[in-house]
Amino acid sequence: MHKVLNDRKAIMIFILPAILIFMVLLFVPIIWSSVYTFFEGSLISGFEFAGLANYFALFNDPDFYNSLWVTSKFTLIVTTGQVFLGLLLSLLYVFYIKKASFLVRTLVFFPVVLPTVAIAQLFSKLFEIAPNLGLINSLLEAIHLEQLVQPWLGQTETAFWILCIMEIWKAMGFYAVILYAGLMDVPEDVLEAARIDGAKGWKLTQFIILPLIKPILISAIIFSLSGTLKVFEQVVALTNGGPGKSTTTLSVHMYQQAFTSGNYGYGSTIALFLLFLTLIITLIVYQSSWKEEKK
């Protein structure tokens, strides 16, 4: 076995088929979609060469700018919420709950494995106003705050925030587990030495714990950014992009253009833009963290 693991030819024989399959599954759809950006039409009506018309249409489309703004807000709020709450939970597991953390970790992680549609239905019932009041409106009515009873998912001011809350609640357990694994690798003698030197609470976290788990923290941020930038099923299941365009993200706008309006070329252009946006933001985060480590 040791000879096989040291044999580069043997390693390539085992790994190459998997790499080739992965490359085909990854790059063929990207290339195919990139070709569609130069055409107009659909599989039913047929395709016509359009040159750069889809790219010009992209940057003259007010709905595109709206979806980009919604995606940017959603990404900033949800990524911050997921990683920050995940970090707080992981610190809670390690330093306060300790042995009893298994049950809490399981309960907090449970929403991660639930279907998105089920979670969306849960939140729609929580904030329901008709035909029956949901839990939130019922509680407001019970404590005599009837003036606050409202159609939470039917208003542009509140629907977006409920979508953010739902996504943070759903995924924070995942990031808590990732960061918990990183905290478990922090040497206890380092923490003990820091405590002897007077580092406690936030100072211990800021100057000792966070630098030691920085690679895991950066990975969690990149995971979250990648998911929130491409958010789709959560939006469709809860609000379907409404009310109006208040929760229409780039992925939803792409889907509407390609599969609802039948404009595959323009939908592919939005998808290609989203791909490069995700790639650029991920590289910026990775590059900035790498430069800080070199310092």
pLDDT digits (tens, 9 = 90+) for 11-24: 677 788 888 898 89
Mean local confidence (pLDDT), 24-52:
87
Higher-pLDDT residue of 199 and 162 is 162
CB within 8 A of 265, min separation 6: which ones? 36, 37, 38, 39, 40, 41, 47, 50, 54
Q: List b or e across 184-211, with b for residues whose CB sees 16 or more CB atoms inside 10 angstroms.
A: eeeeeeebeebeeeebeeeebbeebbee
Give the chain's domains with CATH numbers: 60-294 (1.10.3720.10)
Q: Decide if 266 contacts 33 (C-beta within 8 A).
A: no
pLDDT score recorded for residue 200: 78
Q: Decide if 196 contacts 248 (C-beta within 8 A).
A: no
**Among residues of the chain, what percentage have pLDDT more than 90?**
55
Mean local confidence (pLDDT), 59-69:
95
pLDDT score recorded for residue 18: 85
pLDDT at 2 over 60: no
pLDDT at 140 over 80: yes
**Among residues of the chain, what percentage have pLDDT more than 70?**
95
- Of 65-69, 114-118, 161-165, 199-203, where does mean pLDDT reach its minimum? 199-203
Q: Decide if 91 contacts 176 (C-beta within 8 A).
A: no
Tokens of 237: 């299941």
**Whole-angstrom Cα distance, residue 181 to residue 103?**
16
**Whole-angstrom Cα distance, residue 236 to residue 254?**
12
pLDDT score recorded for residue 109: 92
Give residue 188's Cα distance to chain centre. Answer: 32
Residues β-bridged to residue 41? 47
Mean local confidence (pLDDT), 197-224:
86
**Whole-angstrom Cα distance, residue 284 to residue 26?**
22
Mean local confidence (pLDDT), 30-49:
86
**Whole-angstrom Cα distance, residue 65 to residue 59?**
8
Mean of the per-residue pLDDT values of the chain: 88
Residue 172 neighbours by CB distance under 10 Å: 25
pLDDT score recorded for residue 94: 87
Q: Decide if 232 contacts 255 (C-beta within 8 A).
A: yes
Q: Decide if 114 contacts 206 (C-beta within 8 A).
A: no
